[in-house]
Amino acid sequence: MTILIIAEHDNKSLKEITLNTMTAATQIGGDIDVLVAGENCGSAADAAAAITGVRRVLVADHACYNGQLAENMAALIETLASDYSHIMAPTTTSGKNILPRLAATLDTSYFSDIISVESADTFKRTIYAGNAIETVQTADSIKVMTVRGTAFDLSETNGSATIEALSTVTDLGLSSFVNEELAESERPELTSANIVISGGRGMQNGENFSILEKVADKLGAAVGASRAAVDAGFVPNDMQVGQTGKIVAPDLYIAVGISGAIQHLAGMKDSKVIVAINKDPDAPIFSVADYGLVADLFDAVPELEQAL
């Protein structure tokens, strides 16, 4: 087995979810290479070389990989694919954009968001908003997949892999990167935070999320939201936790003013401890919460902040 991991990075640094993907690759076994494609991405490549167990880091540094455009990225990976039995990327908007395109180019199977490696050709993944888990297998010679970060531990980073520059430039000219509006936050990222506090429709508006932010700042937590809160325009989509947003599994998840729709539970029910604060005692969120507080969130949340 020879595995290629597509690194998740912002040119300057490697995203932690790459290390979860490395653990999944290690469970398959064999030689593992990492591809870092971007523009001026040398420091991300250095970080990838430090992942324990990586054989080689392949670096494609060119303007046409800025913004990780799926067309150019899939074309680049296609030039490398014949050397590999598995091509893996973290389940992120980037991985989900690039790898299905690659799989079709290679005419091979694609597994989306795997949660377990059963063997080199068999994997588990969730369907129907996490209400069922399927075990799937393929005989295709190249297996392409994205990997759910929260389902695998972080790999260690005391390695020193060789770094090789790729001279291939696969600029298809189909698309171009215009700009990026990054959500600025001093808080930890949602998907890697140890504590997440999320608000739902019960927050009533975007301004009221400030009471969650105050608690988050005391706990070193990330702030999330339900789809209802995003749909209502309270907060941006990058805060969405759920089937159609981000999947999180922190040590502590605090759901505030969230009823607990199926699609929200899909994104957080693997959290270690779940706390629900909701004034409706019949809200479904209480059926998955370790601790429930039936209370008006506008009383309970400030009180919680004071108590911390």
Partner 1 sequence: MKILVMVKRVSDPNVMIRVSADNSSVDLNNVKMAINPFCEIAVEEAVRLKEAGIASEVVALSIGTSQSQEQLRTALAMGADRGILIESEGPLESLTVAKLTQKVIAEEQPGLVILGKQSTDTDNSQTGQMLASLMGWAQGTFASKLEIDGESINLTREVDSGLQTVRLSMPAVVTCDLRLNEPRFASLPNIMKAKRKPLDIKPIADFGVDLTPRIKTLMVETPNERQGGEVLSSVAELVEKLKTEKGVI
Q: Closer to partner 1 by CB, 167 or 281: give it.
A: 281
| Adjacent-strand bridge partners of 254 | 197, 275
Q: What are phi and psi of 256, to 5 degrees?
A: -115, 120
Q: Closer to partner 1 by CB, 79 or 162: give it.
A: 79
261 annotated ligand-binding residue: yes
State how far the Cα of 150 lies from the Cα of 91, in Å rounded to an integer: 10
Neighbours of 16 (CB within 10 A): 14
Q: What is the CA radius of gyration of the chain?
A: 20
User: Smallest distance, Å, CB 132 to partner 1?
Assistant: 5
b vs e for 188-206, b when ≥16 Cβ sit within 10 Å of the residue's Cβ?
Answer: bebbbbebbbbbbbbbeee
Residues 126-185 that bind partner 1 (CB under 8 A): 126-140, 173-183
Question: CA 141, 146, 149 angle in degrees (round to 5)?
Answer: 140
Q: Binding residue for partner 1 (CB under 8 A) from 197, 203, 261, 283?
A: 261
SS3 assignment, position 32: strand
Residues 175-214 that bind partner 1 (CB under 8 A): 175-183, 191, 195
Q: Closer to partner 1 by CB, 211 or 300: give it.
A: 300
User: Smallest distance, Å, CB 188 to partner 1?
Assistant: 13
SS3 assignment, position 188: coil
20 annotated ligand-binding residue: no
Q: Looking at the chain, how many residues does it have?
A: 308
Size of residue set near partner 1 by CB under 8 A: 92
Amino acid found at 187: R
42 annotated ligand-binding residue: no
Q: Closer to partner 1 by CB, 52 or 192: give it.
A: 192
Part in contact with partner 1 (CB under 8 A); list of ranges 33-41, 79-87, 197-205, 293-301: 293-301
Check residue 296 for interaction with partner 1 (CB under 8 A). Answer: no
| Adjacent-strand bridge partners of 16 | none
**Cβ-contact 4, 86 below 8 angstroms:** yes
Q: Closer to partner 1 by CB, 56 or 187: give it.
A: 187
State how far the Cα of 289 lies from the Cα of 42, in Å rounded to an integer: 44
User: Smallest distance, Å, CB 214 to partner 1?
Assistant: 14
Quick note: the x/- pattern for partner 1 over 72-111, rule CB under 8 A, is --x-----------------xxx-xxxxxxxxxx-xxxxx
Residues 24-83 that bind partner 1 (CB under 8 A): 67, 69-71, 74
Show binding-site residues for FAD.
Answer: 201, 226-227, 240-244, 257-264, 278
